[in-house]
Amino acid sequence: MADLLTEAEARELCERILGHSSADGVEVRVDAADGGDARFAVNQMTTSADVHDVRATVTCRFGNRSAAVTFNAFEDPEIAESVARAERMAQLAPEDPELMPLLSGTSYGAVPAFFETTAGLSAVERTDAVVKVVETAVGAGLQSSGFLQHHAQAQAVANSAGLFGYHRTTAASLTTTVRTPTGTGSGWAGGSHNDWSRVAPGELAARAAEKAQRSVDASEVVPASYVVVLEPTAVGNLLQLLAFSLDARAADEGRSFFSQRGGGNKIGQRVVDQRVTLLSDPKDPDILERPFTEDGLPVGRTVWIEKGVLRHLAYSRYWADKQGRDPVPMAGGIKMEGGQGTAADLVANVERGLLITRFWYIRSVDRRSLLYTGLTRDGTYLVEDGRVTGAVKNLRFNDSPVAMLNNLVAVGAPVRVVASESGGIGATVVVPPIVVSNFRFTSVSDAV
């Protein structure tokens, strides 16, 4: 692995870029990453790559006009050319009435998000992880595919008003889909963390293989409203959709579930079950995210929903200024607090329902009610008398994360999940397994 950009090196680069501009205001963002990935399919490695990249983005301002250029060549003549291009574009850009003044110098608390176990992960170690998954699948007569991704990242922000921030982090994820040779059974498992040692390839492989074996000979159930046990990944698939909608401007302008009838928003009102507390905190050891936004606004702990009551919405700097409030950044990962127990523990208390591994192809139906549709995938099972009795065909759902959190029956212990459909490294999501009543399914899918 190449040496990651240090804080001193990042500061020096930012200062050189700033020094090349005569604009009214200048912002610089530097992103440096060293990492790699491995893909495998049908029990064979298909690609293995190392990635090394350093990029800078300079944004130049003239009054309320601005423009940005991203570049990756850092000799002085090349920097000067990129800065000059940004200045020319800015002078031609239309005025932005919502452009806010540059942030002045501030300080950020350190977040211990960097782990040598991840930063030093080699191609050999990636291969070893893939071998563990493949050997598990082969030993069970199954076929595995998946994606392993990791990186060490350094990020810096600076501007001509004296601001400078630096953060370094690592992250890794591994996901695998295991199928029966006939394609009639499919199981999935995934894990993600800043610390690679917290991602257990053997355990993920065993879980996916067990799901694939249990999902053959799936029967068909009548689409209806069911009690469901949602594994953490399924919860994360839907809960992040609610988190992304926590925008004050959309609520105040009547475009959101969080809009108040007659004007304003629902801050201070109960919106979900009182067992739900949803928060963001870059310093939380389960989250470990960057402590500042791309323009250098500090990110701290924000409790969005506390015991079912909406406490905060995200306020951009412009909208906060317009509303006479402090800005609240939508950053710092998402975590739903929970109780005790795994999905298996929750299943033991369900008389009849469905166990859902994850959702797929989720699309918005109505943004104002947060209604979504999508499909179950890679492990959907019937639960009877506290145990899984067989596989069922996948189902299409039409439901809302708000309804999901208002129909809570039980809540387990939160864990970190891979919540994106693509399976790569994304925003940090930490959620518990939950039991939900009246979860609506509208049709059966023959897809495995």
pLDDT tens series, the chain, 448 aa: 458 999 999 999 999 999 999 999 999 999 999 999 999 999 999 999 999 999 999 999 999 999 999 999 999 999 999 999 999 999 999 999 999 999 997 889 899 999 999 999 999 999 999 999 999 999 999 999 999 999 999 999 999 999 999 999 999 999 999 999 999 999 999 999 999 999 999 999 999 999 999 999 999 999 999 999 999 999 999 999 999 999 999 999 999 999 999 999 999 999 999 999 999 999 999 999 999 999 999 999 999 999 999 999 999 999 999 999 999 999 989 999 999 999 999 999 999 999 999 999 999 999 999 999 999 999 999 999 999 999 999 999 999 999 999 999 999 999 999 998 877 788 899 999 999 999 999 999 999 9
Report pLDDT for 2: 57
Residue 312 Cα to chain centre, angstroms: 20
- Residue 180 and residue 208 in contact, taking contact as beta carbons nearer than 8 Å: no
CA–CA gap between residue 193 and residue 187 (Å, rounded): 21
List, edge to edge, every strand of the sheet that includes 309-310. Answer: 309-310, 302-306, 278-280, 334-336, 429-431, 415-417
Helix (H, G, I), strand (E, B), or coil: what is residue 324? Answer: coil
CA–CA gap between residue 93 and residue 95 (Å, rounded): 6
Six-digit token string for 415 = 């864990």
Nearest to 278 by CA among 432, 110, 112, 109: 432
List, edge to edge, every strand of the sheet that includes 44-62. Answer: 65-71, 44-62, 25-41, 143-159, 164-179, 186-193
Other CB atoms within 10 A of residue 125 CB = 16
Buried b (16+ CB within 10 A) or exposed e, 322-333: eeeeebbbbbbb
Other CB atoms within 10 A of residue 2 CB = 13
